[in-house]
């Protein structure tokens, strides 16, 4: 790796204005133009079929795009047929403008206009390369020669539109803008604008692509600021950006470019495009939303958008792709899970105006994600807070605080042993198997306890102990105390500090109750049991028996046939 072979290939503006850096974020959404069906499609290993392109196009409309670049009609018969299908099948809504791309070459422009026949609203996007490497190495032409190509292309667009009796809008891109002298790029764009003479009613688009990223984002934005200040007809121009992602800063280029004066963004869903891709419109739009700016695009059903995108493009949305990736809201870390769970509860209790949950930039529900399966994910790194959150949200189980810790370690050990993430149903099964209605070696048959004159409880508890049926007398200051006394006396065991908690799991006549009990043995270890039953008292007794069955001395005592 020899860094000395590289140098800066970009050009600073003749005059630098960085006043735009005082802005915190754009105050409104830009005009969005999806180039998925052209720039994105040409970058696919297997380009989309006609049916796939139509399906993708319809999704873009549902998301809310009002400008969609549908292809390069003169490039191939497939591209030409797609546009004709949209027109002939009346698939272009009145409020949607289709955009077509053409090089500034006569036969290509004419073929493009043939494809547009019958369309209501269109943008004809013409371009030619202007950078130093392109002029010197590819075209071997002077600055004047390159500018003449742009001017001739602009003239032809104007003439053919007038001949067609249409009001097509025009767009010009000095392709490879980032490698072009900024004052020269401005001169070429102004020469094109002199031909078009844009008005308020029919604005022209000047598109400044970062065809290859060559600088840090603030340099690109400074170039945009200069162009915004020095283009003629500025009030009648929509200044557009088309950032690529060679340096991995397509989103940053877009955001800073908007602050510097741009009005429009061309990009793709999830950043698909040649080489490292285009600006990711999903990320840019959602970044705006996270700052309180309405992006005017609807990503409320992100999972379905991702699913269709992957299906028709055969591309994969990376699991950590901002906002759209499968794991972007997932917290495996115990401390993160605990903070998120507490933040969610605080949000629910206080109903604040703004979203402030720790570790979650936006509310996952805003883009169609679920808390229990998408946010809190359980593996060997997880803690008690995350496990408890899953159990409460998905299964209605509200364990005592100390029991949560015990169960959290249990789940971590299982995940660590299996070397895998545990799904909610697997966690619930571990809970059931570990704590609920444990019946070996002691199991409940029945019990009956009546209130005495001195407000005590007296009666019997009917059990199987080591498969032997026994009916024990029971007496205590409550039902649970009476059963506990009977068990300790019969089994010759001692435990203290009985911890008890209960709650209803469901509402209705057939609702189930859940009870949790912790008992401390002679070694100061707490053993937990849980009971589930339609009757809360029965659930409590089952919870106590479940905890007793976990005491280490019980099996030994039972084997001695007590």
CA distance 212 to 388: 49
CATH for 442-559, options being 3.30.160.270, 3.40.30.10, 3.20.20.220, 3.40.50.1820: 3.30.160.270
* Helix or strand (DSSP H, E) at 97: strand 97-103
CA distance 390 to 76: 53
> Could you tell me the sign of the dihedral formed by the alpha carbons of 412, 418, 423, 429, in that order?
negative
Helix axes 106-116, 143-164, angle to 10 degrees: 30
- pLDDT of 510: 64
- pLDDT of 334: 73
* Helix or strand (DSSP H, E) at 430: helix 424-435
CA distance 53 to 156: 29
- pLDDT of 52: 96
CA distance 233 to 560: 99
- pLDDT of 434: 96
Domain 22-313 in CATH 1.10.3720.10: no
- pLDDT of 507: 57
CA distance 213 to 3: 17
User: Are both 22-313 and 442-559 of the same fold?
Assistant: no
For the record, the structure tokens of 504 come out as 């209803």
- pLDDT of 506: 67
The three-state (H, E, C) secondary structure of 239-284, written as one string: EEEEEECCCCCHHHHHHHHHHCCCCEEEEEHHHCCCCCCECEHHHH
- pLDDT of 556: 66
C-alpha distances in Å from residue 183, one per residue of 1, 70, 237, 509: 34, 32, 18, 79
Per-residue pLDDT of the chain (562 residues; tens, 9 = 90+): 999 999 999 999 999 999 999 999 999 999 999 999 999 999 999 999 999 999 999 999 999 999 999 999 988 888 999 999 999 999 999 999 999 999 988 899 999 999 999 999 999 999 999 999 999 999 999 999 999 999 999 999 999 999 999 999 999 999 999 999 999 999 999 999 999 999 999 999 999 999 999 999 999 999 999 999 999 999 999 999 999 999 999 999 999 999 999 999 999 999 999 999 999 999 999 999 999 999 999 999 999 999 999 999 999 999 999 999 998 988 777 788 888 888 988 999 999 999 999 999 999 999 999 876 667 777 767 767 788 888 988 899 999 999 999 998 999 899 888 988 888 899 999 999 999 999 999 999 999 999 998 889 999 999 999 889 999 999 999 999 999 999 999 999 999 888 999 998 865 556 789 999 999 998 899 999 999 999 999 999 999 999 999 998 786 665 555 4
Characterise 377 by phi-psi region: left (phi > 0), alpha (psi -120 to 50), beta (else).
beta
Residue with tokens 């089952």: 542
Going from N- to C-terminal start, the domains of the chain cover 22-313, 334-417, 442-559
């Amino acid at each position: 790796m020899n860094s000395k072979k590289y140098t800066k290939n970009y050009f600073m503006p003749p005059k630098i204005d960085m006043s735009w850096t005082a802005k915190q974020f754009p105050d409104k959404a830009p005009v969005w133009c999806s180039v998925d069906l052209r720039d994105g499609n040409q970058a696919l290993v297997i380009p989309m079929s006609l049916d796939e392109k139509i399906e993708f196009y319809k999704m873009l409309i549902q998301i809310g795009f009002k400008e969609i670049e549908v292809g390069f009609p003169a490039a191939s018969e497939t591209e030409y047929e797609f546009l004709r299908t949209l027109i002939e099948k009346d698939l272009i809504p009145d409020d949607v403008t289709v955009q077509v791309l053409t090089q500034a070459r006569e036969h290509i422009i004419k073929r493009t206009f043939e494809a547009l026949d019958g369309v209501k609203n269109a943008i004809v996007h013409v371009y030619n390369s202007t950078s130093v490497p392109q002029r010197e190495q590819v075209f071997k032409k002077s600055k004047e020669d390159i500018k003449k190509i742009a001017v001739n292309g602009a003239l032809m667009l104007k003439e053919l539109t007038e001949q067609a009796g249409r009001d097509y809008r025009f767009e010009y891109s000095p392709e490879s803008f980032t490698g072009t002298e900024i004052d020269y790029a401005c001169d070429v764009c102004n020469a094109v604008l002199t031909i078009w003479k844009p008005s308020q009613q029919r604005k022209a688009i000047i598109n400044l692509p970062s065809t290859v990223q060559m600088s840090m984002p603030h340099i690109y934005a400074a170039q945009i600021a200069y162009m915004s200040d020095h283009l003629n007809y500025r009030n009648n121009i929509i200044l557009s950006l088309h950032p690529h992602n060679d340096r991995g800063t397509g989103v940053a280029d877009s955001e800073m470019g908007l602050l510097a004066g741009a009005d429009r963004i061309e990009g793709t869903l999830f950043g698909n495009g040649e080489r490292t891709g285009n600006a990711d419109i999903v990320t840019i739009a959602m970044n705006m939303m996270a700052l309180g700016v309405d992006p005017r695009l609807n990503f409320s059903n992100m999972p379905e958008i991702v699913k269709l995108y992957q299906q028709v493009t055969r591309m994969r949305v990376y699991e950590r792709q901002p906002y759209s990736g499968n794991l972007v809201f997932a917290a495996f870390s115990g401390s993160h899970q605990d903070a998120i769970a507490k933040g969610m509860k605080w949000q629910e209790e206080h109903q604040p105006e703004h979203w402030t949950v720790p570790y979650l930039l936006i509310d996952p529900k805003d883009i169609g994600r679920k808390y229990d399966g998408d946010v809190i994910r359980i593996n060997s790194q997880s803690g008690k807070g995350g496990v408890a959150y899953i159990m409460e949200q998905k299964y209605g189980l509200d364990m005592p605080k100390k029991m949560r810790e015990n169960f959290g370690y249990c789940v971590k050990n299982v995940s660590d042993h299996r070397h895998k993430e545990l799904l909610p149903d697997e966690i619930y099964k571990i809970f059931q198997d570990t704590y609920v209605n444990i019946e070996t070696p002691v199991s409940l048959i029945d019990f009956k306890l009546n209130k005495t004159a001195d407000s005590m409880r007296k009666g019997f508890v009917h059990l199987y102990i080591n498969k032997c049926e026994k009916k024990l007398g029971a007496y205590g200051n409550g039902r649970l105390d009476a059963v506990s006394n009977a068990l300790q006396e019969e089994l010759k065991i001692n435990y203290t500090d009985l911890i008890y908690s209960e709650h209803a799991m469901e509402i209705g006549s057939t609702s189930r109750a859940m009870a949790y009990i912790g008992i401390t043995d002679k070694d100061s270890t707490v053993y937990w049991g849980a009971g589930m039953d339609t009757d809360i008292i029965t659930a409590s007794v089952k919870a106590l028996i479940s905890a007793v069955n976990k005491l280490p001395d019980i099996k030994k005592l039972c084997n001695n046939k007590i």
